[in-house]
Amino acid sequence: MASSLVGELSAAPSMTGSLLEGAGPAAPPMQLMHVLECTVDIKETDAKGTFSHVPKERLGFKLRGGIDKQVTINVQQVTNNVQAELDDAQNGYTGGLYIERCFGILLAPGRSVKHSDMRLLEMKKKNSTQQHFIERYFSDGDEPLLSGTGEVSKDCGEDVLVNWAQVLRSWTGPRPRALNHLVRVGVPEALRGEVWLRLAGVDQNDKLMETYRTLISKDCPFESVIQRDIARTFPAHDFFREAGGLGQDSLLRMARAYAVYDHEVGYCQGLSFLAATLLLHMPEEQAFCLLVRLMYGYGLRELYKDGFEALYMRLHQLDRLMEEQLTDLRAHFQELGVEPHMFASQWFLTVFTARFPLPLVYHILDVFLLQGIDTLFQVALALLSRSRKDLLTHDFEGVLKYFRVTLPKKCRAEETSRQIVKLACSIKVKRLNKYQQEYEKFIKESAEKEKINVELERLKVINTQLQQDKETLESQLNEARAQAAEAHKDAAHHAAVARDYRDICARLDRQLHHMQDYVKDCVNCSVKLAQKDNKEEAEQKGAEKIEGSSDTEARLRQRVRDLELELAQVKLAHVQAQCSNQ
Amino acid sequence: MTTAPGGTNNFKVVLLGEGCVGKTSLLLRYIEDKFNDKHLTTLQATFLNKRLNIKGKRINLSIWDTAGQEKFHALGPIYYRNSNGAILVYDITDEDSFGKVKNWVKELKKMLGSDIVLIIAGNKVDLEHERTVPLEEAESYANMVGAKHYYTSAKLNQGVEELFLDLTREMLEKYEQNSQTEVNRTSQVLVVDDETPVQSSCCSGTKSN
């Protein structure tokens, strides 16, 4: 990527500002002419990590993306005031311009850059001649800022120090009234260590310091987890840069001691950033006491506990506050599916120490120590409302990238961090309790819902089981019913057959009687019959004495049998005919 | 998995693994072809996109890079829910981190079944001489659970591109298979639809019983 570099020397106006001051009304108007020569030089890192000049093109420098750049701007006064004699008359004015302050340069990658896209980069180093400063510019727009980036100026106005001295003197019991305002404006870097400890109520002779000395000698179950994070905490800061250096060692000891001290939380990623911030301002023991106070006294510990339940409650509060104060942004996030945990969990867990440049980190901590957990919401809302316009134009990926990369970079200038904190302090955070209850209710309800769901699942399983049982039973029932119907049909059939047989028997009986009557009318036959009957009786009584019988009798008998047989056949034919009719 | 109107297939991928095994580094190498010795701790899951073309198909990978520490394990489901692929990273010089991979495999199998493509990545092969996780063990484990195994070095840029490409190919295959069975499933659903009234009368019958 070749990009042109737009640089503006914002120091220029302040260099001419006080030129006419010494001239009295009687003196002739001074004709001052200063010629300043500015040169820009840009170097890029090479593979060995040293900076070398970038190639120049006709219209500018040829730059590559993703590489650290060193921008040197040399401002040299080439001619002094032409009217040198007159200058001598003015009290001590030597003709050279005195550069009081350089703020830095405005930079942005790309061609035809809008002014609003430019970032103010403050000076990294300034050499002694005051006319030459070096700006180190991490030009890559995609790389997130390393934690611990940023210089915090130790300069502080005389009046500010006087005010602070007064307040600190009068601060023996409760916090003096004037303190609030002073802290919100920002604690002077030189006083931070002391003021932080006092704000948190850590005594110089706190017993915890004694405890700390014993804690560091104990074995820590989180040793390896902590080790992994040490080199990843504030790698951009000189104090923590070196493996095995003073900073990393103190940080390791402190994190270990805390993990031993607080069994329940132990060590949690994120803690190291808070610890490192404190270590940059005070000795280890004191930093440890302050960390304990922050965790226990300021409620940060809750955020780390129980699977981050309290953190999620806080995020819900933030969500509701956004709904209230940044309605359109929140609607935009909802539409995209951006949830507060995707950008604010790190902010809250580390009190903004993990991603932001140090001037802002310190300033936020000033206010946090002054007023507590509400500050988290105020700062979050301030950051969101400052970024609102940008965020509204981004999609899901863009929004998350903005939070990760762009936003921390936009906060690099000290002036920006002052504005952010000022805005944050002006934001009202209300109804937190209501939102908390709301969330707890929601959690309770969803837990119940979950329980009900589990119960429902269980019942569903049982239901399916029962359904299956029911189905089997039903099919069995149907089968039985079919069988019963079949049986009924059979029974009816059998009954009909039986009835038919009964009819047949009755008819046969009738015919038999008829025949008997007919036979009775025939004397011959009746005699023979009687004889036969007698004979039969005799046969039954005495064993078959009478064998012989007349031919006629035999014929008649034969005839009767034939008739009977014929009758039976007719009957059968009749029945068959009936059946076929049915 | 969603298909955008432009015909782009959108796959969701999640990176999981113990802290400091190189999840962020792998991702940074793949997406921006960079390696940073100054590590960044991932406290809050980060989201990155990668667009690529495979077999003439436009594909967008939405990748969630997660925090590794055990404490953050509980937040896992937020990020692996609805994922099409998971890259489980361990450090070949750290046996515990391999154990952690096994835990993740178990959890993912339980929660997502076989809907998710699993890749196991043994990272930091530039530190081969310090290896403590035996080669065969890792590979046979991956084989057993139906995951592909890769050796990677974000530092030396080894195996990173291949890993993501293969993962994407597999996700695409699975997606195409699924949409095939999906078609079958919809026709089955239609049949069920027809039967619905019967079923409801059946239910009311149960009540009256």
**A553-568 tens-digit pLDDT:** 888 888 888 888 988 8
Tell me what percent of the residues of chain A surpass a pLDDT of 70: 79
Task: Provide residues of B within 8 Å CB-CB of chain A.
Answer: 19-20, 32, 34, 36, 38-41, 43-49, 62, 67, 69-72, 74-75, 78, 96, 206
Structural domain contains residue B31 = yes
Q: A532 pLDDT exceeds 90?
A: no
Chain B CA closest to residue A146: B40
Tell which of B10, B31, B43 to mutate to test the A interface (max A CBs under 10 Å).
B43
Spatial separation of the C-alpha atoms in residues B198 and B209, rounded to whole Å: 16
Tell which of B13, B35, B36, B44 to mutate to test the A interface (max A CBs under 10 Å).
B44
Tell me how many residue pairs between chain A and chain B have CB atoms under 8 A apart. 73
Residue B66, Ramachandran bin (φ over 0: left; ψ between -120 and 50: alpha; else beta)? beta
Structural domain contains residue B105 = yes
Q: Do A307 and B70 touch (CB under 8 A)?
A: no
Spatial separation of the C-alpha atoms in residues A287 and A258, rounded to whole Å: 11
Distance from CA of A340 to the nearest CA of B (A): 11
Spatial separation of the C-alpha atoms in residues A299 and A310, rounded to whole Å: 10
Intra-chain end-to-end CA distance of chain B, in Å: 45
Q: A123 pLDDT exceeds 80?
A: no
Mean predicted confidence (pLDDT) in A141-163: 82
Task: Give φ, ψ of A338 to 5 degrees.
Answer: -85, 120
Give the pLDDT confidence score for residue A122 in this predicted structure.
62
Chain B CA closest to residue A227: B20
Task: Provide residues of A within 8 Å CB-CB of chain B.
Answer: 66, 142-144, 146-147, 224-225, 228-229, 231-233, 235-236, 268-270, 272, 304, 307-308, 341-343, 345-346, 349-350, 354, 396-397, 400-401, 404, 467, 470
Structural domain contains residue B34 = yes
Q: Measured between CB atoms, which of B43, B46, B69 is closest to A354?
A: B43
Q: Do A269 and B69 touch (CB under 8 A)?
A: yes
Q: Do A225 and B72 touch (CB under 8 A)?
A: no
Chain B CA closest to residue A144: B40
Mean predicted confidence (pLDDT) in B123-143: 94
Closest CA to A117 of A395, A496, A389, A417: A389
Distance from CA of A232 to the nearest CA of B (A): 5
Give the pLDDT confidence score for residue A246 in this predicted structure.
92
Structural domain contains residue B203 = no
Per-residue pLDDT tens over the stretch A174-224: 899 999 999 999 999 999 999 999 999 998 877 899 999 999 999 999 998
Strand-pair category, B2-3 with A132-138:
unpaired
Distance from CA of B175 to the nearest CA of A (A): 23
A244-252, long-range: CB < 8 A, 24+ apart: A247/A276, A247/A279, A250/A279, A250/A284, A250/A287, A251/A275, A251/A276, A251/A279, A252/A226, A252/A227
In chain B, residues with a C-beta closer than 8 Å to the C-beta of A400 are: 46-47
Contact A526, A519 (CB under 8 A): yes
Tell which of A67, A224, A228 to mutate to test the B interface (max B CBs under 10 Å).
A228
Give the pLDDT confidence score for residue B202 in this predicted structure.
42
Chain A CA closest to residue B48: A397
Q: A527 pLDDT exceeds 50?
A: yes
- Torsion from C-alpha of B188, B189, B194, B199, nearest 10 degrees: 110
Contact B133, B92 (CB under 8 A): yes
Task: Give bridge partners of residue A555 from the DSSP assignment.
Answer: none
Q: Measured between CB atoms, which of B32, B38, B62 is closest to A235?
A: B38
In chain B, residues with a C-beta closer than 8 Å to the C-beta of A396 are: 47
Per-residue pLDDT tens over the stretch A335-379: 999 999 999 999 999 999 999 999 999 999 999 999 999 999 999
> Which tops the pLDDT comparison, B39 or A171?
A171
Strand-pair category, B2-3 with A51-53:
unpaired
What total number of domains does chain B contain? Answer: 1
Structural domain contains residue B156 = yes
Query: What element of type H or E holds B26?
Result: helix B23-32
Tell me what percent of the residues of chain A surpass a pLDDT of 90: 50
Task: Give φ, ψ of A291 to 5 degrees.
Answer: -60, -45
Q: Measured between CB atoms, which of B34, B40, B48 is closest to A232?
A: B40
Q: A418 pLDDT exceeds 70?
A: yes
The 8-class DSSP code of residue B73 comes to G
Q: Do B46 and A404 touch (CB under 8 A)?
A: yes
Give the pLDDT confidence score for residue A157 in this predicted structure.
82
Spatial separation of the C-alpha atoms in residues A183 and A168, rounded to whole Å: 12
Structural domain contains residue B209 = no
Q: Give the CA count within 13 Å in the CB-facing half-sphere of A33.
A: 4
Q: Do B70 and A66 touch (CB under 8 A)?
A: no
> Which tops the pLDDT comparison, A57 or B192?
A57
Instruction: Kindly report the CATH number assigned to the domain that includes residue B7.
Output: 3.40.50.300
Distance from CA of A41 to the nearest CA of B (A): 26
Amino acid present at B21: V
Structure-token match 């998350």, residue found: A400
Closest CA to A575 of A492, A493, A500, A498: A500
Per-residue pLDDT band at A541 (split at 50, 70, 90): low
Spatial separation of the C-alpha atoms in residues A191 and A358, rounded to whole Å: 16
Per-residue pLDDT band at B207 (split at 50, 70, 90): very low
Alpha carbon A112 to chain centroid distance?
Answer: 39
Structural domain contains residue B207 = no
Mean predicted confidence (pLDDT) in A456-479: 93
Closest CA to A200 of A328, A264, A296, A316: A296
Spatial separation of the C-alpha atoms in residues A34 and A97, rounded to whole Å: 8
Structural domain contains residue B9 = yes
Chain A CA closest to residue B33: A66
Q: Measured between CB atoms, which of B43, B78, B96 is closest to A270?
A: B43
Give the pLDDT confidence score for residue B182 in this predicted structure.
61
Distance from CA of A290 to the nearest CA of B (A): 22
Q: A456 pLDDT exceeds 70?
A: yes
Q: Measured between CB atoms, which of A146, A307, A470 is closest to B38?
A: A146
In chain B, residues with a C-beta closer than 8 Å to the C-beta of A49 are: none
Q: Print the domain residue range for B83.
A: 2-183
Spatial separation of the C-alpha atoms in residues A105 and A121, rounded to whole Å: 5
Task: Give bridge partners of residue B46 from the DSSP assignment.
Answer: B65
Spatial separation of the C-alpha atoms in residues B118 and B132, rounded to whole Å: 23
Residue B83, Ramachandran bin (φ over 0: left; ψ between -120 and 50: alpha; else beta)? beta
Mean pLDDT taken over chain A:
82
Tell which of B49, B71, B198 to mutate to test the A interface (max A CBs under 10 Å).
B71
Q: B192 pLDDT exceeds 60?
A: no
Chain B CA closest to residue A65: B32
Give the pLDDT confidence score for residue B188 in this predicted structure.
45
